[in-house]
Structure 1
Amino acid sequence: MEALQMEIAIRSAPVSAMRCAVRPLSKGQLIQRLGDFAERGNLEKGLAALTEYVGASHYLLARYDLSQDHNLDFVVCSDWPFDMVKRLAKCLSDLHSRSNEMEKCLSVMQPVFMSLPADIEPARGLARDYCAITFNVGRTRLSLMLLFPQDVILSQESLRDVGLLTAYFASFSQDREMRSDREFELTERELECLFWIAEGKTSDEIAVILGISRNTINNYITSVMRKTATKTRSEAIAYAVRNNLV
């Protein structure tokens, strides 16, 4: 009987260790600290506090609308090893291009675990999986990607809390390293074209309505889809409705 109890204790010990990580802060303390960091414009410390709260080890805050460019402009703030970020850029771009607008909508605030590409070797002690939580700040879609130790199991509930808190923190933070949205905002003409597309008008019909050429209309529509990271007019309309643009 004693031997059986000892065997059960040995088997259950690692699982207990993985699941019973002690949080350094309560949720209330974390929120108060995030408020202080937001006022000071300290994005890095805020993300570090969120990462520590959930039991992860490294954070990467990324802009999905920039991930398609195959460069590092998508990185807002990160403490991931540089080589890993550089190799992850193409992976994110490919993932973004394969997702339709409906899938992007459904993924918001849903923690997703994904494996690192085979050519990326994490540092010793880190899991090969990472967790991504997608959220919107205004018209910008961001993703918080977390690396975590091999012996840690991240709580889904805590991850959703962190996703929500990160969204609020990013929206209020005045950190200078956060890139401006201005170059990605739609112009008045682009919004007009988007409105008429949503009304079911063709490029020829919009050209007549606005009194400009069909080619110019198509150029505006192409620009709209590039800025909203959509691939079809239907996806652009869905994006516009979701973000109250039409």
Structure 2
Amino acid sequence: MDFRQAEISPRPGPVISVRNVTREVSNEQLVRRLGEFSERGNFGKGLAALTDYVGASYYLLARYDLSQDDGLDFVVCSDWPFDVVRRLGKVMAQLHSKTNEMQKCLSVMQPIFMSLPDDVDLHRGISREYCVITFNVGRARLALMLLFPQDVILSQESLRDVGLLAGYFASLTQDRVTRKDREFELTERELECLFWIAEGKTSDEIAVILGISRNTINNYITSVMRKTATKTRSEAIAYAVRNNLV
């Protein structure tokens, strides 16, 4: 099977009650535990607590805004089997290329169920579907991805609760979550170009304003779109507005 042809179309999960999930801690208890894990630097334990709370089996926290590049640099913390994570990197890069900025905004805090490719080997009893919940911590877009048993049905409400709690926990440990930001920061020139694009200026007009060539301006704009995972100038402007860059 050609992995690049694997079906990755997302679809909303069923709005039904949780079955076969017994919570050992209340929401308030979990919040306290997450605070303690953050103070101790136990990032993995905090994510494991969230996973247990919702009745899932494995967690993967990723920098969704960095997943446009093929590789594993977007992974923040995970206990998924490594081979599955490696395949997931290609799936996320492909999905990013098919999703526009508006769709990314609308998907925030909306649990989405997606299917892993058929040639991915999973532990027995684990569903081939996984749940993705995206949320923001500052300027970083994160995705919490959960693998769960085949006999567990997760409700939209409980998954949104976990998304909120994951955002809370990630905000407490923001230094670790955003550790790769410096590699993807826009330069002063790129920000200048982005500002003038948002003002409706063309490449020729920006070249005159900044006193550099049109080709150089286009190179800056291309770099901006690569770093922000956008495909058009309009999407780059929408990204800039959403992240208070202009």
2:36 is equivalent to residue 36 of structure 1:
yes
Listed as ranges, the matches of 1:64-79 within 5 Å are 64-79=64-79
* Amino acid aligned to 2:71: N
Structure 1 residue 174: Cα displacement: 5.4
Q: How has the CA–CA distance of structure 1 residues 184 and 208 changed in structure 2, closer, same or farther, with 3 Å as cutoff?
A: same
* Amino acid aligned to 1:135: F
Query: Separation in 2 of the partners of 1:135 and 1:126?
Result: 25
- Asked if the contact 1:18/1:152 (under 8 Å) is kept, the reply is yes
What residue is the counterpart of 1:51 in the other structure? 51
Query: Separation in 1 of the partners of 2:228 and 2:198?
Result: 15
Structure 1 residue 180: Cα displacement: 2.9
What residue is the counterpart of 1:141 in the other structure? 141
Structure 1 residue 192: Cα displacement: 1.2
How many residues in Structure 1 have an aligned counterpart in Structure 2?
230
Deviation string for 1:66-86 (max 9, x for gaps)? Answer: 322221112111000111111
What residue is the counterpart of 1:223 in the other structure? 223
SS in 1 for 2:239: helix
* Amino acid aligned to 1:121: D
* Amino acid aligned to 1:87: R
What residue is the counterpart of 2:235 in the other structure? 235
Listed as ranges, the matches of 1:38-187 within 5 Å are 38-173=38-173, 176=176, 179-187=179-187
Q: Percent identity?
A: 79
Structure 1 residue 37: Cα displacement: 1.3
Deviation string for 1:171-199 (max 9, x for gaps)? Answer: 22156586331111222221111111011
What residue is the counterpart of 1:213 in the other structure? 213
Query: Separation in 2 of the partners of 1:65 and 1:191?
Result: 18
Query: Separation in 1 of the partners of 2:166 and 2:18?
Result: 24
- Asked if the contact 1:42/1:173 (under 8 Å) is kept, the reply is no
TM-score (norm 1): 0.88
What residue is the counterpart of 1:9 in the other structure? none
Q: Which has the higher contact order (CA 8 A, sep 6+)?
A: 2
Q: Which has the larger radius of gyration?
A: 1
**5+ residue gaps, structure 2:** 1-16
Q: CA RMSD in A?
A: 1.7
SS in 2 for 1:24: coil
Q: How has the CA–CA distance of structure 1 residues 220 and 173 changed in structure 2, closer, same or farther, with 3 Å as cutoff?
A: same
Query: Separation in 1 of the partners of 2:177 and 2:141?
Result: 17
Deviation string for 1:139-179 (max 9, x for gaps)? Answer: 22111100001111112111111111111211221565863
More helix by share: 1
TM-score (norm 2): 0.88
**5+ residue gaps, structure 1:** 1-16
- Asked if the contact 2:55/2:148 (under 8 Å) is kept, the reply is yes
Deviation string for 1:46-69 (max 9, x for gaps)? Answer: 100111111101001111233222
Q: How has the CA–CA distance of structure 1 residues 125 and 20 changed in structure 2, closer, same or farther, with 3 Å as cutoff?
A: closer
Query: Separation in 2 of the partners of 1:218 and 1:179?
Result: 29
